């Protein structure tokens, strides 16, 4: 089994990688940091790769995946208008779409692992979004695994400490992150419907 982890180098994705190994026992694990062009210090994410490698019993590889082109096309183009329309920043939904589409097409994983934790503030980590990411992975022949979905930050830190792993994050910073206001669940659903149509177009089998 090949497990691909969306890896920021922070506490959440680090613990998610460790739990994925414990629960799924993959033969290989690829820690993928996606560079969308607006991240600062992308290379920092690799610092915590060694912590994962030391604590799992399979081959671990760290890769930076360039998603500049799709993120510019799907995430940045027309962003100002979408923010004005919705009153919150939907760019993280587009970014997550680009990351997932990138790893699914580039690495062909059996399972995609993320450090998502349920949130009503971060649109890409709402229950509505989680259902869509699960659907997206199934449609492209993979599973979507979120082992820390029900944890709070304290539980994440405790999980790392229990595994003798540093709680210090080494994640890059995104210059566009932040919704600035809480997204409306109905708006998130409507936005995800647009992503669903995009996915259908990308995965449609030619006649």
Q: Determine the Cα–Cα distance for residues 13 and 85; give it in Å rounded to an integer.
A: 32
Tell me the per-residue pLDDT of 71-130, one tens digit each, with 9 for 90 and over. Answer: 999 999 998 898 888 888 899 999 999 999 999 999 999 999 999 999 988 999 999 999
Q: Determine the Cα–Cα distance for residues 17 and 3; give it in Å rounded to an integer.
A: 9
User: Which parts of the chain sit beneath pLDDT 50?
Assistant: 207
Q: What is the pLDDT of residue 197?
A: 95
Helix extents (H) in the chain: 11-24, 49-55, 68-71, 79-86, 91-107, 127-139, 153-162, 185-203
Percent of the chain past pLDDT 70, that is, above it, reads 97
Return the structure tokens found at 198.
């995009």
Return the structure tokens found at 75.
């995430």
List of domains in the chain: 2-203 (3.40.50.620)
Q: What is the pLDDT of residue 16?
A: 98
């Amino acid at each position: 089994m090949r497990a691909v982890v969306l890896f920021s180098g922070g506490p959440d994705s680090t613990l998610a990688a460790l739990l994925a190994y414990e629960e799924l026992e993959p033969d290989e694990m690829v820690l993928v940091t996606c560079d969308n062009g607006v991240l600062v210090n992308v290379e920092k994410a690799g610092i915590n790769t060694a912590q994962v490698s030391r604590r799992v019993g399979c081959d671990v590889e760290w890769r930076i995946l360039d998603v500049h082109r799709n993120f510019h096309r799907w995430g940045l183009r027309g962003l100002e208008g979408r923010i004005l329309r919705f009153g919150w920043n939907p760019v993280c939904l587009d970014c997550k779409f680009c990351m997932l589409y990138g790893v699914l097409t580039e690495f062909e994983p059996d399972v995609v692992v993320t450090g998502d934790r349920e949130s009503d503030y971060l649109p890409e980590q709402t229950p509505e979004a989680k259902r869509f990411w699960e659907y997206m992975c199934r449609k492209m022949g993979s599973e979507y695994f979120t082992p820390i979905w029900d944890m709070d930050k304290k539980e994440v830190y405790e999980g790392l400490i229990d595994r003798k792993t540093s709680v210090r994050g080494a994640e890059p910073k995104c210059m566009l992150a932040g919704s600035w206001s809480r997204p409306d669940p109905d708006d998130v659903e409507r936005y995800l419907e647009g992503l669903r149509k995009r996915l259908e177009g990308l995965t449609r089998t030619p006649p």
